[in-house]
Copies of this chain bind each other. A is one copy, B any other.
Amino acid sequence: MRLGLFDSGVGGLTVLKSIKEHKLFDEIIYYGDTARVPYGTKDKNTIIRYALEAVEFLKNFEVDMIVAACNSVSAYAIEEIREHINLPVLGVIEPGVKALLKRDAKPKDHILILGTTATIQSQKYERLLHANGFLNITALATPLFVPLVEEGIFEGEILDSTMRHYFKDIKDPDFIILGCTHFPLLKDSLQDYFPNSILIHSGEAIVEHLQSNFDITKSSNSPTLKLFASSDPDGLKRVAKLWLS
């Protein structure tokens, strides 16, 4: 089976990494829209337009399934993509909430959702969590985490002061949803800041979701990867080499 995976840029490689490590699919086509990254600071109509263009690109490769490895796309464009193409289409938000349930989160647990401005404004995580009975939810836009990750800053003084800035009013969440595919790269620093919280990672969530809901043959080898980018494809390949190793 062939999977088409896309993101605004390099962030979705964290999802690719999880799928690859679990040896799901024979081939994965990754498309990063690096010419227009980030999506998370842009408006809904723009995000939908870009998502449909990414899907058009992936159609060229006759993929069997599409994963939008981007929370901002998952927040705004999943229905539009499903109307546009006759294939299974997965976002990362529903799997993230399911992963939380699987970890025995209780209704009164404090859930902190971190995401881009677009993802948080969509309130999609909150609606899904409310629908599943959660009562104690904090949704926080942390857009500066995206350029920090893109700059390769995963720890240190700038990240610490950025965390203090965003988290000054946040007390000890039980669970933290990393609601942006860039954020798993900050997980050690986030875990240091909130040592008692359980972090939910979109990549792991989507692997659990794929394994539970789809009949995907686990192959003995890692899937073949094909990486594409709308700007500077060599840059994407360099980051992939670093992150996927």
> What residues of chain A have their CB less than 8 Å away from a CB belonging to chain B?
34-37, 41-43, 45-46, 143-144, 146-148, 150-151, 153, 156-158, 160-162, 164-165, 230-232, 235
Contacts and interface: CB of A to CB of B under 8 A. Distances in A.
Contacts of A42: 34-35, 231-232
A233 to B, nearest CB: 9
Contact of A157 (B146, B147, B165): B165
Interface hub of A35, A148, A164 (most chain B Cβ within 10 A): A35
Total copies of this chain within the assembly? 2
Nearest to A234: B43
Contacts of A36: 35-36
Nearest to A230: B46
A156 B144 CA distance: 15
A7 to B, nearest CB: 15
A16 B147 CA distance: 26
Contact of A46 (B151, B158, B160, B232): B232
Nearest to A159: B161
A46 B161 contact: no
B147 A43 contact: no
Given A161-B157, A165-B158, A43 B144 contact: no
Nearest to A41: B150
Given A36-B35, A161-B158, A165-B157, A231 B43 contact: yes
List 6 A-B pairs, minimum CB-CB distance, nearest first.
A46-B231, A43-B232, A147-B147, A161-B161, A157-B161, A36-B36
